[in-house]
Protein backbone atom coordinates (compact mmCIF):
# COMPACT_ATOMS: atom_id res chain seq x y z
CA UNK A 1 0.00 0.00 0.00
CA UNK A 2 2.77 2.43 0.98
CA UNK A 3 4.87 1.35 -1.99
CA UNK A 4 2.02 2.05 -4.43
CA UNK A 5 1.36 5.46 -2.81
CA UNK A 6 5.02 6.39 -3.19
CA UNK A 7 5.08 5.07 -6.74
CA UNK A 8 1.94 7.08 -7.57
CA UNK A 9 3.45 10.23 -6.02
CA UNK A 10 6.68 9.82 -8.02
CA UNK A 11 4.76 9.13 -11.21
CA UNK A 12 3.03 12.48 -10.80
CA UNK A 13 6.30 14.27 -9.93
CA UNK A 14 8.49 12.72 -12.60
CA UNK A 15 7.31 12.33 -16.15
CA UNK A 16 7.89 8.85 -17.61
CA UNK A 17 10.92 10.07 -19.59
CA UNK A 18 12.37 11.46 -16.36
CA UNK A 19 12.18 8.03 -14.74
CA UNK A 20 14.89 6.83 -17.06
CA UNK A 21 17.09 9.80 -16.15
CA UNK A 22 16.37 9.26 -12.46
CA UNK A 23 17.20 5.55 -12.72
CA UNK A 24 20.38 6.35 -14.64
CA UNK A 25 21.54 8.73 -11.91
CA UNK A 26 20.79 6.18 -9.16
CA UNK A 27 22.64 3.41 -11.01
CA UNK A 28 25.55 5.73 -11.86
CA UNK A 29 25.94 6.77 -8.23
CA UNK A 30 25.88 3.13 -7.17
CA UNK A 31 28.50 2.20 -9.74
CA UNK A 32 30.64 5.19 -8.77
CA UNK A 33 30.49 4.20 -5.09
CA UNK A 34 31.31 0.60 -5.98
CA UNK A 35 34.31 1.75 -8.04
CA UNK A 36 35.47 3.98 -5.16
CA UNK A 37 35.21 1.01 -2.78
CA UNK A 38 37.21 -1.20 -5.15
CA UNK A 39 39.95 1.41 -5.55
CA UNK A 40 40.32 1.87 -1.79
CA UNK A 41 40.21 -1.87 -1.10
CA UNK A 42 42.77 -2.52 -3.84
CA UNK A 43 45.19 0.08 -2.45
CA UNK A 44 44.83 -1.25 1.11
CA UNK A 45 45.38 -4.82 -0.11
CA UNK A 46 48.51 -3.82 -2.04
CA UNK A 47 49.98 -2.06 0.99
CA UNK A 48 49.19 -5.00 3.29
CA UNK A 49 50.59 -7.58 0.85
CA UNK A 50 53.79 -5.59 0.26
CA UNK A 51 54.29 -5.45 4.05
CA UNK A 52 53.84 -9.24 4.22
CA UNK A 53 56.35 -9.73 1.41
CA UNK A 54 58.86 -7.49 3.20
CA UNK A 55 58.36 -9.46 6.43
CA UNK A 56 58.79 -12.72 4.53
CA UNK A 57 62.08 -11.45 3.04
CA UNK A 58 63.27 -10.40 6.48
CA UNK A 59 62.44 -13.81 7.99
CA UNK A 60 63.71 -16.03 5.17
CA UNK A 61 66.25 -13.92 3.28
CA UNK A 62 64.53 -14.65 -0.04
CA UNK A 63 61.54 -13.56 -2.08
CA UNK A 64 58.26 -15.50 -2.04
CA UNK A 65 56.83 -17.13 -5.14
CA UNK A 66 55.12 -14.78 -7.60
CA UNK A 67 51.60 -15.82 -6.45
CA UNK A 68 52.61 -15.42 -2.76
CA UNK A 69 51.41 -18.88 -1.71
CA UNK A 70 54.50 -19.12 0.52
CA UNK A 71 53.09 -16.29 2.67
CA UNK A 72 50.27 -18.67 3.59
CA UNK A 73 52.61 -21.62 4.18
CA UNK A 74 54.72 -19.70 6.71
CA UNK A 75 51.70 -18.22 8.48
CA UNK A 76 51.99 -14.57 7.36
CA UNK A 77 48.66 -14.75 5.54
CA UNK A 78 45.40 -16.53 6.26
CA UNK A 79 44.70 -16.92 2.54
CA UNK A 80 46.41 -19.22 0.07
CA UNK A 81 45.57 -16.91 -2.84
CA UNK A 82 45.01 -13.17 -2.51
CA UNK A 83 41.98 -12.14 -4.54
CA UNK A 84 41.58 -8.63 -5.91
CA UNK A 85 38.36 -6.61 -5.86
CA UNK A 86 38.59 -6.63 -9.68
CA UNK A 87 38.71 -10.41 -10.02
CA UNK A 88 41.74 -12.65 -10.21
CA UNK A 89 44.64 -12.64 -7.77
CA UNK A 90 47.49 -10.32 -6.86
CA UNK A 91 50.97 -11.20 -8.08
CA UNK A 92 54.53 -10.08 -7.55
CA UNK A 93 56.17 -8.18 -10.40
CA UNK A 94 59.37 -10.21 -10.97
CA UNK A 95 61.34 -7.15 -12.12
CA UNK A 96 60.45 -4.83 -9.23
CA UNK A 97 59.62 -7.52 -6.64
CA UNK A 98 56.54 -5.51 -5.64
CA UNK A 99 52.96 -6.75 -5.40
CA UNK A 100 50.65 -5.49 -8.14
CA UNK A 101 47.15 -6.13 -9.44
CA UNK A 102 47.32 -7.51 -13.01
CA UNK A 103 43.49 -7.51 -13.23
CA UNK A 104 42.79 -3.85 -12.64
CA UNK A 105 41.82 -1.97 -15.77
CA UNK A 106 44.33 0.63 -16.88
CA UNK A 107 43.52 4.23 -15.98
Asked whether residue 16 is domain-assigned, the answer is yes
**Confidence (pLDDT) at 5:** 47
Residues whose CB falls within 8 Å of the CB of residue 46, separated by 6 or more in sequence, listed in order: 90, 99, 100, 101
Higher pLDDT among residues 8 and 52, named by residue? 52
Q: Label residue 105 exposed, middle or buried (CB < 10 Å: 0-12, 13-18, 19+).
A: exposed
Asked whether residue 43 is domain-assigned, the answer is yes
Asked whether residue 106 is domain-assigned, the answer is no
Asked whether residue 24 is domain-assigned, the answer is yes
Number of domains in the chain: 1
**Confidence (pLDDT) at 32:** 76
Give the range of the structural domain holding residue 52, as residue numbers without chain letter: 2-100
Least confident of 13-27, 66-80, 88-102: 13-27
Q: With contact defined as beta carbons under 8 Å apart, do 19 and 52 qualify?
A: no
**Confidence (pLDDT) at 30:** 74
Asked whether residue 107 is domain-assigned, the answer is no
**Confidence (pLDDT) at 6:** 47
DSSP 26: H
Task: Identify any residues that bridge with 89 across adjacent strands, giving them in sequence order.
Answer: 83
**Confidence (pLDDT) at 27:** 63
pLDDT of 7 over the 90 cut: no
Amino acid sequence: MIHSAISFAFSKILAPASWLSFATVVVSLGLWQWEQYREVADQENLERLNRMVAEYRQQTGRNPDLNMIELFRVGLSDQRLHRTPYGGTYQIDPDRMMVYNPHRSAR
